[in-house]
Amino acid sequence: MRSFITARRLIDGKGGVMTGQPVVEIDGARIVALHENAPEGAELRDFGDATILPGLIDTHVHLNMPGNGMLLEEVMREGVEVMLATSVGSALQALGAGITTVRDVGCFGTTAFSVRRALALGYATGARVMAAGAPITITGGHTWYMGGECDGEEALRHKVRALIKDGAEFIKVMGSGGGTLNTASWRPAFTQDEMDAIVSESHRNERRVTVHCLCAESIDIAVRAGVDQIEHAGFIRRNAPQHYDAAVAERLAKSGIPVTTTLAVGATAINAMQQIEGRSPEQDAFLARWQRMLAENVEQFTRLSEAGVTFVAGTDAGWRFTSFDSLVLELQMMEQGGMAVSDCIAAATGRAAGVIGLEDRGILAPGLLADLIVVKGNPLEDLAALHDLDLILQGGVDHLPTPRAQRAAQAMTVPG
Ligand SMILES: [Zn+2]
């Protein structure tokens, strides 16, 4: 069945904007054509003063976690069945926010593979899932509870193969400590030889590698190993404020390796704390710490951008207070850091898809998946327009008002 979606403007996800009466022609799950004007005889679904754009992509999420303030340690205590159910809810929340694809960069065991499978079978509704499984981490390293502990070059090569056997579409590595107990964010985790082994084995098996880096030295190790992407790119030091390292930034920029922002983590933590009336001294301290860290992170984002580093949008949804509808906030933080609005949108559509290796989506073009959204108004004037969704199309299937309500209505149709 062919359908024709039209609105006042269209953002194609690769830098192009069409105005007037652009029309997207869809046949089944795919886009078959983009028209500058309505084709003769086409029955238009006209959204008026609205914008058509590709379904959004969040390149950094953790489906296992609810994003309601829970620590990973607390989530793990609930057990794997609860984490699986949580993941389905997370994927649905993302879809409801116009995010048609998420990339899970760290789950317990193989849970994200199972969710990906159930969604692909149509047994559940949610954002399409790309998954790495458990992140590879040193013994006792960041997120070791997820099951990705491994040390030594031989063992790491085996680990990469085992992850791929289980269903990893890419490899996630914890290149430094992070926000889990007793891990050191200011210290690189793997040696250069170990990181080299992970990367060469992954590439031999046609898998991209992305590395969580919260300190300067971990960025250098990742860059030298030739990884495909870096998450966060922080400059944390031991018992000291972050310190931007221009020489490291220059090497990173020169490498061309893109970075995922994850500014929403701080923005959502601050929001959550500010909503509490009568905060405890601990909550006040938590708020002050995140206000300082977010300011540092935005400043580093600005300086890295100016140095020539490319960014894609990722929220770290699931982590602490980061809900699965935080991507617009992420883009707004990127704008605050000096990125042009059109570039922010590219970072969550076409550029995101390119960096993570999904060539069938992220832009509006013939032959690609009919994953698109329509929002009221013009997000190029105000990114907040991305909240005002008029249509969420995933593989040509309409997911508004809510997926559940729509399913229920179909189920209640009296046969015959
Ligand atoms: Zn993360």
Cα(404) to centroid of ligand 1, in Å?
28
Share of the chain above pLDDT 90, in %: 93
Q: What is residue 400's predicted lDDT score, i.e. its pLDDT? A: 80
* Count of other CB atoms within 10 angstroms of residue 366: 11
Exposure string for 84-120, b = 16+ CB within 10 A, e = fewer: bebbbebbbbbbbbbbbbbbbbbbbbbbbbbbbebbe
Give the C-alpha separation, 81 to 98, whole Å: 27
The three-class DSSP label of residue 31 is strand
- How is residue 234 written in tokens? 């922080």
Cα(62) to centroid of ligand 1, in Å?
6
Cα(266) to centroid of ligand 1, in Å?
12
Identify the sign of the CA torsion 87, 92, 93, 94. positive
Q: Is the pLDDT assigned to residue 82 strictly greater than 70?
A: yes
Block residue for tokens 């390149």: 59
Dihedral pair phi/psi, residue 400, rounded to 5°: -120, 150
Q: What is residue 253's predicted lDDT score, i.e. its pLDDT? A: 98
Give the C-alpha separation, 127 to 394, whole Å: 8
- How is residue 410 written in tokens? 């179909």
The alpha-helical segments, DSSP class H, found in 308-374 are 327-336, 341-347, 350-356
Among 26, 11, 43, residue whose Cα is nearest residue 370:
26
* Burial (CB count within 10 angstroms: exposed 0-12, middle 13-18, buried 19+), residue 238: exposed
Q: In sequence order, what are the residues at sequence separation of 6 or more whose Cβ sits closer than 8 angstroms to the Cβ of residue 298? A: 263, 333, 336, 337
Q: Is the pLDDT assigned to residue 220 strictly greater than 60?
A: yes
Block residue for tokens 């790119």: 233
Q: What is the rounded average pLDDT of the residues 209-218?
A: 98
Q: What is the rounded average pLDDT of the residues 156-171?
A: 98
- What's domain 2-54+361-411's architecture? Roll (2.30)
Among 37, 102, 164, 32, residue whose Cα is nearest residue 317:
102
Q: What is residue 407's predicted lDDT score, i.e. its pLDDT? A: 45
Q: What is residue 154's predicted lDDT score, i.e. its pLDDT? A: 98
Q: What is residue 149's predicted lDDT score, i.e. its pLDDT? A: 98
Q: What is residue 401's predicted lDDT score, i.e. its pLDDT? A: 62
Cα(236) to centroid of ligand 1, in Å?
16
Q: What is residue 402's predicted lDDT score, i.e. its pLDDT? A: 57
Q: Is the pLDDT assigned to residue 405 strictly greater than 80?
A: no
User: Is the distance from CB of 101 to CB of 371 less than 8 angstroms?
Assistant: yes
Per-domain residue ranges of the chain: 2-54+361-411, 56-325
Give the C-alpha separation, 41 to 250, whole Å: 55
Among 65, 118, 57, residue whose Cα is nearest residue 87:
65
Among 154, 116, 156, residue whose Cα is nearest residue 132:
116
Q: What is the rounded average pLDDT of the residues 335-340?
A: 97
Cα(24) to centroid of ligand 1, in Å?
35
Q: What is the rounded average pLDDT of the residues 149-173?
A: 98
Block residue for tokens 């704390």: 273
Q: Is the pLDDT assigned to residue 151 strictly greater than 70?
A: yes
Among 378, 377, 375, 398, residue whose Cα is nearest residue 387:
375
Cα(370) to centroid of ligand 1, in Å?
28
Q: Is the pLDDT assigned to residue 235 strictly greater than 70?
A: yes
Cα(105) to centroid of ligand 1, in Å?
6
Q: Is the pLDDT assigned to residue 412 strictly greater than 70?
A: no
User: Is the distance from CB of 169 to CB of 198 less than 8 angstroms?
Assistant: no
Cα(262) to centroid of ligand 1, in Å?
8
Q: What is residue 409's predicted lDDT score, i.e. its pLDDT? A: 46
Among 63, 98, 54, 100, residue whose Cα is nearest residue 82:
63
- How is residue 33 written in tokens? 């054509």
pLDDT tens digits for 115-140?
999 999 999 999 999 999 999 999 99
User: Is the distance from CB of 413 to CB of 407 less than 8 angstroms?
Assistant: no
Q: What is the rounded average pLDDT of the residues 254-260?
A: 98
- How is residue 184 written in tokens? 């050191």
Give the C-alpha separation, 59 to 236, whole Å: 22
Strands (DSSP E) along 126-265, which ranges?
128-131, 170-174, 208-212, 229-231, 259-260
Q: Is the pLDDT assigned to residue 404 strictly greater than 50?
A: no
Q: What is residue 408's predicted lDDT score, i.e. its pLDDT? A: 46
Cα(106) to centroid of ligand 1, in Å?
7
Cα(152) to centroid of ligand 1, in Å?
24
CATH assignment of 56-325, among 2.40.160.40, 3.20.20.330, 3.20.20.140, 3.40.50.1100: 3.20.20.140
Q: What is the rounded average pLDDT of the residues 397-403?
A: 75
Q: Is the pLDDT assigned to residue 411 strictly greater than 80?
A: no
Q: Is the pLDDT assigned to residue 348 strictly greater than 60?
A: yes
